[in-house]
Amino acid sequence: MSRKWKRMLLSFIAFGILTALDQWTKQLAETNLMGQKPFVIWNNVFELLYSENRGAAFGMMQGGRPFFVIVAVIVFVAVLYVLWKLPDSGKYIPLASCAVAIAAGAAGNLMDRLAQNYVVDFLYFKLINFPIFNVADCYVTVSTAVLCLLLFTGFYREEDLEFLRMRKES
């Protein structure tokens, strides 16, 4: 098996594990938090609070399911493209990891939207009244932040990312 196919296989395994972990935590939230008072982890700071979100972050775009499905499909295609084109070098492991986590986050929330027309959220920072979120949201947010750091701090130079350019066949 070539290195590229091994990398793709490992990426799919990681994607599956991350997506399963997200779905498992949401199932735990439904089972243990739905219809209950918040489970306080740190009084007035952080708690587990069941919520059904039919929109995006901060409750925006309520009922925008078709849009979210299209965005998720675009994310999946982009991640597959990046993973396939990735050079065989350990330098690209952070990039691949971020891409896989972003795809897993998109998949976890997409699965909720398709199965029940809402996303299960349950992590709540009460101290700052931050919107309730879930593990998939953490994957997307943290990975995007790390990706921005990698791109904007010089970890990857422009020539390191040449592999992403689509070239015309001549």
CA distances to 3, 45, 100, 144 from 39, in Å: 46, 12, 31, 29
Contact assessment for residue 121 and residue 133, using Cβ atoms and an 8 Å cutoff: yes
Contact 119, 134 (CB under 8 A): yes
User: Lowest-confidence range among 12-26, 54-68, 129-143?
Assistant: 54-68
pLDDT for 58 equals 57
Question: What's the gap between Cα 115 and its chain centre?
Answer: 18
pTM (global) more than 0.95 = no
Q: Which range is least confidently modeled, 6-10, 57-61, 80-84?
A: 57-61
The predicted pLDDT at position 95 comes to 96
* Between 27 and 62, residue with greater pLDDT: 27
What's the CA gap between 22 and 16, in Å, rounded? Answer: 10
Inform me whether the pLDDT recorded for 139 exceeds 80: yes
Radius of gyration of the chain (CA): 18
Tell me the two tokens of residue 142.
């943290």
Active site positions, annotated: 121, 137
Per-residue pLDDT, averaged over 87-96, amounts to 93
The pLDDT assigned to 136 comes to: 97
Answer whether residue 159 shows pLDDT above 60: yes
Q: Provide the pLDDT for residue 59.
A: 62
